[in-house]
Amino acid sequence: MIKIRRIQPDEAAVAKQLIYRVAHQVFHDIRPLEESIAFYEARALLHDVDELQQTYFDNDGIFLVMTDHDRIIGTGAIRKIDHEICELKRVWLLFEYHGQGLGYRMMQDLLSFARAKGYVRMRLETDQMHQNRAFNFYKRLGFYEIPRYSDNDEDVAMEMIL
């Protein structure tokens, strides 16, 4: 049975493994998965997941996991940019669960959370080349491209009015 719930602190490592595993496929990383994980861990790529409480929960945000019979199969998070704008982060789903409407379910929960918190707009950044499916998914949800709002020169910035 598929469920969406708030992540527990002791599940951060499992969530990170899932994100690395899916990203490894999405970005066609030629290194072995373990080597890729070590490379990105050394650069603290997912430091926000290591600091769930500070980054998300203490900052008017949330970090959700999707489970199938208690196995984490997806993630999704929101963090505060300012009192009107939140940022969508860490939306990842194992490939074998794609095409079942589960990403849409996760997004509905995240959008509901953002609206309940009083956010007016939601932003995100995504790699249009490697994450084209995600980019098109976000467009179907109502996100549109905006000028970059961070130092990330590789990704496309998008926004949605809530």
Bridge partners (DSSP) listed for residue 5: 65
Which amino acid does the sequence have at 139? K
Domain locations along the chain: 2-118
Sequence letter at residue 119: Y
The C-alpha atoms of residue 138 and residue 51 are separated, in whole angstroms, by 26
Residue with tokens 């509905």, as numbered in its chain = 108
Average pLDDT, the chain: 95
Q: Which CATH number applies to 2-118?
A: 3.40.630.30
Least confident of 20-34, 71-85, 108-122: 20-34
pLDDT of 161 > 90? The answer is yes
- How does pLDDT run across 122-159, given as a tens digit for each residue? 999 998 888 989 999 999 999 999 999 988 878 999 99
- pTM score, two decimals? 0.94
Cα separation, 4 vs 22, in Å, equals 18
Taking CA atoms, 160 is separated from 2, 42, 92, 125, 142, in Å, by 27, 33, 19, 12, 6
pLDDT for 158 equals 97
